[in-house]
Amino acid sequence: DTEVTQTPKHLVMGMTNKKSLKCEQHMGHRAMYWYKQKAKKPPELMFVYSYEKLSINESVPSRFSPECPNSSLLNLHLHALQPEDSALYLCASSQRGAEPQHFGDGTRLSIL
Amino acid sequence: GQNIDQPTEMTATEGAIVQINCTYQTSGFNGLFWYQQHAGEAPTFLSYNVLDGLEEKGRFSSFLSRSKGYSYLLLKELQMKDSASYLCAVLNSGYSTLTFGKGTMLLVSP
C-alpha cells in the first residue's frame, strides 16, 4: 500500500464524457504532481502544485484541468479526451521540491 | 534541457550482483533519484544522491559523480522479486521537478 491514494484505479470513458481523477495524501506534503505514463515509457510530468498553487503546467492540453482544493487533495478533471490520452495517470507528493516524491498506484485510463 | 541515458534491458541471475548505469547532461542539477517500478504498479523510491559518493541502503547502493554526469545503482544478492524497471531521475534546479530516464528493465532468472 502507498501513502498516496488515487481513485479510481481504472476508468473507461468515451470521448464526450467528463470525469475526474482524485489523489489524496496525509503526509503533510506541500508539493503535489500529476504524471502521465504510457506503456514501457517513463512518467512524464504534467502539472506541479506547490502550497496549493499551480506552479508548473508542462504545456498540457486544456482538456486536462487540475485542481487543488486543499493541501491534501489533488484532482484532475477530464473532458473531451482523445484515444491517445489512454495511459496510467500517476499522482505524487513530496515534502518540498527537493525531497523524494512518493507515488500513488495510479489510475489506468482508457478512452474509447 | 535534460538528456538521461540508461540501458534498455539487463539480465542477471538470482544471488548475483548487477550495476545499472545512468548518464545525464543537464542545464541544472539538484540531485539524482533511483526508482523501482514493477509492471502495472507505481514507482517506488529507492535512493537519492545529491553529493558525490556512495549511498548504501541494504541490498541497494547508489553512486554519483557530478563532474562526470554519472550515477549507478548497485543491486546485491539479487532476488526474483527484483525483476522490475529501474528509473533514473534527475532533479532539476529552479522548480525542482524530476526528469526521468527511459528506465532499465531488469530480468532476474533462477
pLDDT tens digits, B49-90: 999 999 999 999 999 999 999 999 999 999 999 999 999 999
Q: Report how far apart the first and last C-alpha atoms of chain B are (Å, whole number).
A: 40
| Alpha carbons A8 and A93: distance in angstroms, whole number | 18
pLDDT score of B40? 85
The three cell numbers locating residue B91: 532533479
Q: Provide the b/e sequence for B56-86 (b: ≥16 CB within 10 Å).
A: eeeebbbbbeeeebebbbebeebeeebbbbb
Q: pLDDT digit string (tens) for A46-102?
A: 999 999 999 999 999 999 999 999 999 999 999 999 999 999 999 999 987 677 889
According to DSSP, residue A76 is labeled E
- Strands B98-100 and A73-79 come out as unpaired
Question: Chain B partners of A101 at a C-beta cutoff of 8 Å?
Answer: 33, 45, 98
Cβ separation A90–B42 shorter than 8 A: yes
Structure confidence at residue B68 (pLDDT) = 95
Nearest to B63 by CA among B52, B76, B77: B52
| Chain B residues within an 8 Å CB radius of A7 | none
* pLDDT value at A1 more than 60: no
Instruction: Classify residue A84 by burial, with Cβ atoms within 10 Å: 0-12, 13-18, 19+.
Output: exposed
Q: What's the grid cell of residue B83?
A: 525483476
What is the interface size between A and B, counted as CB pairs within 8 Å? 50
- Res. B2 pLDDT band, cuts 50 70 90: confident
**pLDDT value of position B30:** 86
Q: Would you call B10 exposed, middle or buried from its count of C-beta atoms within 10 A (0-12, 13-18, 19+)?
A: middle
Partners of B2 on chain A (C-beta within 8 Å) are none
Which residue of A lies nearest to B101 if distances are taken between CA atoms? Answer: A42
B97 against B32, higher pLDDT: B32
Residues from chain A contacting residue B39 (CB–CB below 8 Å): none
Residue A102, C-beta contacts closer than 8 angstroms, at least 6 positions apart: A2, A3, A4, A25, A27, A29, A92, A93, A94, B45
For A11-44, the pLDDT digits (tens) are 999 998 999 999 999 999 999 999 999 998 999 9
Which among A4, A97, A106 has CB closest to B95?
A97
Taking contacts as CB-CB distances below 8 angstroms, the residues of chain B near A90 are: 42-43
Are residues B102 and A96, on separate chains, in Cβ contact within 8 Å?
A: no
What residues pair up with A23 in beta bridges, in sequence order?
A6, A74
* Nearest to A109, CA basis, from A5, A12, A8, A43: A12
pLDDT tier for residue B92 given thresholds of 50, 70 and 90: confident
Task: Judge: B97–A97 Cβ closer than 8 Å, yes or no.
Answer: yes
The residue among A104, A5, A89, A86 whose CA lies nearest residue A44 is A89
pLDDT at A65: 97
Average pLDDT, chain B: 93
Q: Which of B40, B96, B103 has the CB atom closest to A97's CB atom?
A: B96
Nearest to A34 by CA among A110, A85, A83: A85
